[in-house]
Structure 1
Amino acid sequence: MQIKVKLFATLRNNREKEMMMDLAEGATPKDIIERLNISEEEATIIMINGRGAKLDTAIADNDTVSIFPPVGGG
């Protein structure tokens, strides 16, 4: 299946901002971050099609997965 992956903030360092990725059926965001060499600590906010998701949430064909690093502020 093919999905769109969007990376934000520091996760874009030495990586594409947006990319298409071919994954096996039943893949999860954890499979994506492993393929991109992103640690689980770096990928703290994950969204699938604009909705919050977890590392073990199943991804479907043509989904868009957005991955964000920890957010600071105050």
Structure 2
Amino acid sequence: MIEVRLFATFRENRGKKIQVDAKDGNEILEKIDIKKEDVAIFLINGRDGSLDTPLKDEDIVSLFPPVGGG
């Protein structure tokens, strides 16, 4: 299982952390219903990653949306 940590608006109706069985980031997004274009930062074990990077059990993925403000 992959631990997915969600930040900001991604937490709405999902919570802060969820467990997902997935082979890569694309599959995670599909399972938790987040669009690729809505992800600004994708980290694997605290390091910059790509949605195509293969994941293994115990990996921690962090997802951040774009930050707005003014």
In the alignment, structure 1 residue 42 sits paired with structure 2 residue 43: no
Find the residue that maps to 2:48 and give its secondary structure: strand
Unaligned runs of 5+ in 2: none
What residue number does 2:15 align with? 16
Runs of 4+ in 1 over 2 A off after TM superposition: 71-74
Distance in 1, matches of 2:2 and 2:55, equals 8
What residue number does 1:58 align with? 54
Find the residue that maps to 1:41 and give its secondary structure: helix
CA contact 1:3–1:21 (8 Å) conserved in 2: yes
Distance in 1, matches of 2:9 and 2:43, equals 17
Report the RMSD for the aligned CA atoms in angstroms. Answer: 1.4
TM-score (norm. length: structure 1):
0.84
Query: What code does the residue aligned with 1:32 have?
Result: I
Distance in 1, matches of 2:68 and 2:56, equals 31
Task: Point out the structure with the larger helix share.
Answer: 2
Aligned identity (percent) is 49
Query: How many aligned positions are there?
Result: 70
In the alignment, structure 1 residue 31 sits paired with structure 2 residue 27: yes
